[in-house]
A and B are shown apart, each in its own frame.
Chain A
Amino acid sequence: MEPIIQLTHQPLDRAALVEAVSHPSDGGIVVFEGIVRDNARGKQVHYLEYEVYEEMARQQIAQIIAEAQQRWQIEHVAVAHRFGRLEIGEASVIIVVATPHRSEAFDACRYIIDTLKNTVPIWKKEVATNGEAWVEG
């Protein structure tokens, strides 16, 4: 199955992504969901603004998934990232990995989110009560 890659302004739909990735041959599904929290480095966060270099981000995410598929036996993967303005409590990223056995699903999901943060051209601006700034890492 081709991996699902979503870059969207719209709220992310966890149930739909899990449904799309589920397969009778898989015994485990691991979902990672990243949420906008109300504080960072001692500041009160008002909201976040994500920006994406879409063509390149899509390509980089596909490459990360391909690398994960070489390391672990994972056939069913979805990676969704939202951009634009996100409020506290909303999901910025959802990664779903379905595998025959659980340990590979955990390992691959962890690998995908960690690598995504480092190499996919997506940026986050924190708008806090005392000003706004692009956040690194």
Chain B
Amino acid sequence: MKIKIRYFASLRDIVEQSEEWLTVPDNAYIADVRTLLLERYPRLQPIMDRSVNAVNHSYVPAETELHDGDEVVFIPPTGGGC
């Protein structure tokens, strides 16, 4: 199945793109996607360690199962406000 990954802030700077589609095994978990991305982009390691997971615009734990077409974002520490 395919999932959409979007990159923001420091993650986008590292992977040098704002989104991509990834092919992952059916019933993959968020944790599997983390592993896959770290293999592809080893430089993500420090920021991924401090990022939380979001699927379809909601925060979710790493043991969340994914479905075809899901939008996955790893959210680095936020800095909104002022």
Contact = CB atoms under 8 A, between A and B. Distances in A.
A57 B78 CA distance: 11
Interface stretch (B2-10, B26-34, B36-44, B61-69): B2-10
Interface in A32-49: 34-37
Contact of B9 (A35, A113, A125, A137): A125
Contact of B82 (A55, A57, A92, A125): A92
Interface stretch (A18-26, A65-73, A97-105, A116-124): A116-124
B80 A53 contact: no
A121 B8 contact: yes
Nearest to B71: A55
B82 A123 contact: no
Interface residues of A, number: 30
Contacts of B80: 50, 52, 57, 81, 92-93, 116-117, 120-124
Interface in A84-135: 92-93, 113, 116-125, 134-135
A121 B54 contact: yes
A59 interface: yes
Nearest to B50: A136
A136 B6 CA distance: 19
Interface of A: 34-37, 50-53, 55-57, 59, 81, 92-93, 113, 116-125, 134-137
